[in-house]
Structure 1
Amino acid sequence: MNKRQYAYKVIRTRIVDGTYSPGQRIIINQIAKEVGSSHIPVREAIHQLESDQLIEFKPNVGAIVRGIDNELYMETMHVLALLEGHATALSAPLITTNGIKTLENINNEMKEMLENYELDKLGALNREFHFQIYSYCPNNLLKKNIRETWNRLDIVRQAGFTFYPKRTPQSIEEHSTLIKLLKERADSSEIEEYARKHKLITLEAFKERN
């Protein structure tokens, strides 16, 4: 891992875990000392984080942590619905029997977590469920875009906004339906439409959360 990558990881981790809060200024000198580098790798890392929409530059202030506003979140979720729908359709013909069994196990674990009120683990299991499907997707660029889009939502997930207790039972049932479609080798257009709808319903839950 080079200096730029290390600086990127340090700053990004602190944004995601809440150490750096929205609106907080990133002090380049301080980060450079911590990672043992010059200013250049830190500036490069900050530019990358700006591309990730985690940091923004303000005149006469510099680099600050960007807050995730509702509009940005909803736009990102809409893009994710399109990407995930297509990735699921591409993965469907290639997913193995063992792959489907893994999906069933993850979804059953989600049911157990819900029943035991271990809600903090549901988000990670949900991600594992979907990325298990995408592991069979033959389009590597599509998978990369999905990973990057999920990563942009990490702050929102950290704040607990994406997995709502009222939404979770329905989401688990939708996973079961998706597993059924994959197991039955349903038409790819049907699978794509259902996977896209699954994500868009989560978006609607976000809109109606208050």
Structure 2
Amino acid sequence: MEKKLNKRQYAYEVIRSRIIDGVYVPGQRIIIDQIAKEVGSSPIPVREAIHQLESEQLIEYKPNVGAVVHGINDDLYKETLHVLALLEGYATALSSKFITYEGIEKLKQYNQEMKDSLTNFELDKIGRLNRKFHNLIYSFCPNKLLLTNIQQMLDRLDTVRKSEFTFYPKRTPQSILEHEQIIESLCEEHDFRKIEELARQHKLNTLQAFNEQ
């Protein structure tokens, strides 16, 4: 039983990482026998891994085709951002009770690096720094299930948009200013509701940038 579980998990990690990294693109068919050969298993653990990825909406079954990488349309993208705004707002507010002085200083450093990258037109670097900024905040969040749900949704978005700043460069200066507001709210220990509202609106502003592009 343990060996079967390990094979399923290995197949899951292989397929999932290829979807997230863009090796498998939306609409691409997943060949079960091929994956089974690569991971050294029978097709059964691969099918189980695909079922798990289907529940995460990274894969879908199509009639007469089989398992394919799930595409994400504009409506689903908007819906995902709405949910992320709620989850990320709450996670940021929870983190505010536990974040350290060192954590605050690291947030300031990431935001300054984003400013420098903007000056140098390093848009891909800005996207990575933005993710680091928010991940650092969440590292102080005690609700691990909440963080798992956030990561799953971010992964889903990453299958088609590796970095929101690659697509919305005009949004970046305002986002950096909003980061400063979030940092200030964490430093001054604003009340839970205010921090949650700031972080939630930060994500909703990304949605607005998408709607205006």
The alignment's TM-score, normalised by the length of structure 2, stands at 0.92
Give the Cα separation in 2 of the matches to 1:115 and 1:35.
Answer: 45
Helix, strand or coil for the counterpart of 1:199?
A: helix
- Contact 2:95–2:142 at 8 Å: present in 1 too? yes
Work out which of the residue numbers 169, 180, 187 in structure 2 matches 1:165.
169
Counterpart of 1:32? 36
Residue 4 of structure 1, aligned match among 3, 8, 14: 8
Task: Please give the secondary structure, in 1, of the residue aligned with 2:67.
Answer: strand
1:176 matched to 2:180: yes
2:81 aligns with one of 73, 77, 84? 77
Aligned residue type for 1:70: D
Verify the 8 A CA contact 1:7 1:35 in the aligned structure 2: yes
- Identity among equivalent positions (%) equals 66
Distance in 2 of aligned mates of 1:137 and 1:146: 12
Corresponding pairs, count: 208
- Cα deviation per residue 1:166-204 (whole Å; 9 max; x = unaligned)? 001110110011101111111111111111000000011
Quote the Cα distance in structure 2 between the aligned partners of 1:93 and 1:27: 47
Aligned to 2:119: 115
Say which SS state the counterpart of residue 63 (structure 1) adopts. Answer: strand
Give me the whole-angstrom Cα distance separating, in 1, the residues matched to 2:206 and 2:164: 10
Counterpart for residue 41 of structure 1: 45
The answer for the alignment partner of 1:193 in structure 2 is 197
TM-score (norm 1): 0.93
Does residue 155 in structure 1 map to residue 159 in structure 2? yes
Distance in 2 (alpha carbons) for counterparts of 1:5 and 1:206? 35
Q: Which runs of 5+ in 2 are unaligned?
A: none
Quick check: 1:156–1:162 contact (8 Å CA) kept in 2? no
Letter in 2 for 1:44: E
Counterparts of 2:81 and 2:30 in 1: how far apart (Å)? Answer: 27
**Partners in 1 of 2:69 and 2:44 — Cα distance?**
19
User: Mind listing any 5+ residue stretches in structure 1 that lack a counterpart?
Assistant: none
State whether structure 2 residue 129 is matched by structure 1 residue 125.
yes
* One-letter amino acid of the structure 2 residue matched with residue 175 of structure 1: H
Name the structure 2 match of 1:90: 94
Q: Distance in 2 between matches of 1:156 and 1:21?
A: 8
The two structures, once aligned, show a CA RMSD in angstroms of 1.5
Q: Give the Cα separation in 1 of the matches to 2:47 and 2:181.
A: 46
Distance 1:161 1:27 in 2: 30
